[in-house]
Amino acid sequence: MEAELLARLTADLAWIRPELLLAGFALLGTLVGAWMGDRASGLLSGLCAIALVVAAYFAWQVRPAEPHTVFNGALSIDGFSAYAKTVIALAAAATLLLGADHFARRNERRFEFPVLIALSAVGMFVMVSANDLITLYVGLELQSLAAYVLAAFRRDDARSSEAGLKYFVLGALASGLLLYGSSLIYGFAGSVRFDEIATAAGQGGVGLIFGLVFLVCGLAFKMSAAPFHMWTPDVYEGAPTPVTAFFAAAPKLAAVALLARVLYGPFAGLEAQWQQVIIALSGISLLVGAFIALAQTNIKRLMAYSSIHNMGFALMALAAGTEKGMSAALIYMTIYLPTTIGAFAGILAMRRDGKDVETIDDLAGLASRKPWLAMLLTVLFFSVAGIPPLAGFFGKLVTFQAAVDGGLWPLAVVAALATVISAAYYLNIIKVMWVNAPAPAFQSSGPTIAVTAGLATLLVFPVLVVGFGWIEQAALFAASSSFP
């Protein structure tokens, strides 16, 4: 019996190589950091970025045509999780590069930064593979706990501490909602395993719907969908900018993927019920993100509302309830991540007299001072506004197609209106950069920030546009191979 257990364990371990690699890096990295102190921060950041890229490769390599569950059904390794893990790992690696330069310039190097990013990535990997409610919760908590610490990373700065505290308290509340929903689901379905919940959900039941609504509320908080978005602007503004870039990228995709997995997996039988909830979340996010952003002067707060608005699009695709909707959400997020990382790289380059500046007016006349940076930011903001032929346009196009195919005409109309409104503030930034009288010049930014901004822009145009068919195929495979 023991030999059999051991054989099963080693067979399962081979399936979770990406998680093992990152967890191993985190443990060893802590040892190295404890030994060498903060001098190790540059070395560890580099190693962590490499580990993340290798983890992305491992995750991509394992793409079974049929879902494969490991560890007694705790995790499901399938095309969907492989796709999500690859994108998450690459996005996390990019934000790590941003952080290395930023913290070095401010003389705030700390070796814990890459370690916490790696642990957070492990949490996200577990989230997108979750196959029962316990795995879902533990993965989410691992990711969030690391995020709370990262938000308060600049501990002597009042705004950073406030961001960490606010994120922690509200996050704990959301976790409470999520757990309460999970306990209701467990009570009614009699199991925490997704396949058994799916059987129970097929028979319907008011109790399960109650539980599902609580669960969705908790997840909506994590992905900052309105009306659970209150923490987002404050946390985005207060947290150190590379950390904000991290929050805006990888965890968003992980939360969207987790929500998709929960809705399309165990609760596929209750689609008529959850569809209304997701439509409401999507519509409110689209409008709140578009309207409130108009009044922002701080560019980090603006990005926060922009991300709320963009979550509305991902939710709209999910609300369609079709395979196409799920792949559209994945495609949308895949295109959104490089855009937002590039925009944050641009924000990190805004540095004057040794201080970071972050209001929109500081960008005035950037085109005459730093034409290259202005070009990059223009491309990125045009993309996120959804202007063809940039990648952002195609992302929006597939979500609209999915929504219309799913019969969600009214929501698609709301989304179109919200897009027009949101275009106003993106265009305003571009106008400030190109037309307004020049403000004093920025200092030159570090090499990794410049490289990240350049790469992100290249992805937005033309790499992802040319490779769009390929991404679409990968996302469709992810959606179709994982959910029956």
Partner 1 sequence: MLEAIAFYVLASVAVLSAFAVVSARNPVHSVLFLILTFFNAAGLFVLLGAEFLAMLLVVVYVGAVAVLFLFVVMMLDVDFVELKQGFLSYMPLGGLVGVVLLGEMLLVTSAVRTSGAFSDRPTALPEGVTNAERIGRVLYTDYLFLFQLAGLVLFVAMIGAIVLTLRKRDGIKRQDVSKQVGRTRKQGVELKDVRPGQGLG
From the list 62, 91, 98, 142, which residue makes contact with partner 1 (rule: CB under 8 A)? 142
By CB under 8 A, the count of residues binding partner 1 is 47
Tokens coding 480: 């179709």
- Asked if 116 interacts with partner 1 (CB under 8 A), we say yes
CB-nearer residue toward partner 1: 72 or 276? 72
The answer to whether 411 touches 279, Cβ cutoff 8 Å, is yes
CA contacts within 13 A on the Cβ side of 365:
9
Tokens coding 248: 């805006």
- Asked if 467 interacts with partner 1 (CB under 8 A), we say no
Q: How many C-beta neighbours within 10 Å does residue 251 have?
A: 26
> Of the listed pieces 87-95, 206-214, 291-299, 321-329, which binds partner 1 according to CB under 8 A?
206-214
From the list 148, 246, 305, 426, which residue makes contact with partner 1 (rule: CB under 8 A)? 148
CB-nearer residue toward partner 1: 123 or 338? 123
CB-nearer residue toward partner 1: 78 or 112? 112
Q: Which residue reads 């371990």 in tokens?
A: 13
Q: How many C-beta neighbours within 10 Å does residue 78 have?
A: 24
Shortest Cβ 146–partner 1 spacing (Å)? 5
From the list 42, 46, 64, 207, which residue makes contact with partner 1 (rule: CB under 8 A)? 207
Q: Please provide residue 249's backbone torsions phi and psi, each rounded to the nearest 5 degrees.
A: -105, -90
CB-nearer residue toward partner 1: 71 or 393? 71
- Asked if 178 interacts with partner 1 (CB under 8 A), we say no
Pick the closest to residue 310 from 380, 252, 391 (CA basis).
252
Q: How far lies 465's CA from each of 133, 208, 393, 448, in Å? A: 37, 42, 9, 24
Give the three-class secondary structure for 471: helix
- Asked if 268 interacts with partner 1 (CB under 8 A), we say no
Which helix (DSSP H) or strand (DSSP E) does residue 218 occupy? helix 206-222
Question: x/- site string to partner 1, residues 61 to 100, per CB under 8 A?
Answer: ---------xxx-xx-------------------------
From the list 67, 114, 139, 171, which residue makes contact with partner 1 (rule: CB under 8 A)? 139
Q: How far lies 106's CA from each of 46, 103, 351, in Å? A: 18, 5, 11
User: Would you say the C-alpha torsion 53, 54, 57, 62 has a positive or negative sign?
Assistant: negative
- Asked if 218 interacts with partner 1 (CB under 8 A), we say no
From the list 47, 88, 115, 209, which residue makes contact with partner 1 (rule: CB under 8 A)? 115
From the list 141, 234, 237, 358, which residue makes contact with partner 1 (rule: CB under 8 A)? 141
CA-to-CA distance for 139 and 303, rounded, in angstroms? Answer: 26
CB-nearer residue toward partner 1: 199 or 436? 199
Pick the closest to residue 164 from 234, 212, 230, 107 (CA basis).
234
From the list 121, 126, 367, 450, which residue makes contact with partner 1 (rule: CB under 8 A)? 126
CB-nearer residue toward partner 1: 29 or 342? 29
> Of the listed pieces 8-16, 86-94, 402-410, 468-476, which binds partner 1 according to CB under 8 A?
8-16
The answer to whether 83 touches 474, Cβ cutoff 8 Å, is yes
Which DSSP string corresponds to 256-271?
A: HHHHHHHHHTTTGGGH
Q: How far lies 400's CA from each of 15, 292, 300, 444, in Å? A: 36, 23, 27, 40
Question: x/- site string to partner 1, residues 349 to 378, per CB under 8 A?
Answer: ------------------------------
- Asked if 210 interacts with partner 1 (CB under 8 A), we say yes
CB-nearer residue toward partner 1: 186 or 434? 186
- Asked if 216 interacts with partner 1 (CB under 8 A), we say no
CB-nearer residue toward partner 1: 114 or 395? 114
From the list 122, 363, 418, 464, which residue makes contact with partner 1 (rule: CB under 8 A)? 122
- Asked if 205 interacts with partner 1 (CB under 8 A), we say yes
Tokens coding 456: 């992100």
CA-to-CA distance for 282 and 276, rounded, in angstroms? Answer: 10
Q: Please provide residue 355's backbone torsions phi and psi, each rounded to the nearest 5 degrees.
A: -125, 150
Report the largest interatomic distance among the alpha carbons of the chain, rounded to a whole angstrom: 77
- Asked if 28 interacts with partner 1 (CB under 8 A), we say no
Shortest Cβ 141–partner 1 spacing (Å)? 6
- Give me the residues that bind partner 1 (CB under 8 A), please: 5, 9, 12, 16, 23, 26-27, 30, 70-72, 74-75, 110, 112, 115-116, 119, 122-123, 126, 134-135, 138-139, 141-142, 145-146, 148-149, 152-153, 155, 164, 180, 183-184, 187-190, 200, 205-207, 210
